[in-house]
């Protein structure tokens, strides 16, 4: 874009918003999530609660969350290489991602779910 074609170049804020929208998944894309926990410990309960709050706010009606207790259903962990719990696996949309912890670091979860671009200023 140049001044001669009558279009003004976007300012930095508009450009950043444009990049964030370009990197974000389509607004109707369905998320398939699996959260692996170990029993109903306080850490497991916190992870479920934190993740549901994030999903309800950012993915309202566009996600399928399966909570798997690895003690009760160990066969469902086969092939998933679960080394710690709680572990969230984002199956879809691709690319697949893993997030370990109680999902209390909201920014890290949003970046892991590709709902927010990583902040390189840190």
pLDDT tens per residue, range 32-48: 999 999 998 999 999 99
Please report the domains of the chain, with CATH numbers, ordered by start residue: 29-112 (3.40.30.10)
Flag whether the pTM goes above 0.95.
no
pLDDT at residue 78, rounded to an integer = 87
Extract the tokens encoding 112.
Answer: 């892991």
Model confidence over 9-31: pLDDT tens digits? 555 555 555 445 444 555 679 99
Torsion of CA 16, 27, 106, 43, to 10 degrees: -160
Q: Which distant-in-sequence residues (6+ apart) come within 8 Å of 36 by Cβ? A: 68, 70, 77, 80, 82, 85, 86, 87, 88, 89
What's the rounded Cα separation, in Å, for the pair 20 and 12? 12
């Amino acid at each position: 874009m140049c001044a001669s074609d009558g279009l003004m170049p976007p300012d930095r804020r508009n450009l950043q918003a444009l990049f964030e929208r370009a990197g974000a998944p389509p607004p109707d894309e369905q998320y398939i999530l699996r959260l692996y926990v170990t029993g109903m410990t306080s850490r497991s309960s916190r992870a479920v609660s934190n993740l549901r709050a994030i999903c309800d706010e950012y993915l309202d009606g566009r996600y399928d969350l399966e909570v798997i207790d690895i003690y009760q259903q160990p066969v469902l962990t086969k092939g998933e290489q679960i080394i710690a719990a709680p572990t969230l696996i984002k199956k879809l949309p691709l690319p697949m991602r893993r997030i370990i912890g109680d999902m209390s670091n909201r920014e890290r979860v949003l970046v892991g779910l590709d709902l927010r671009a990583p902040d390189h200023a840190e």
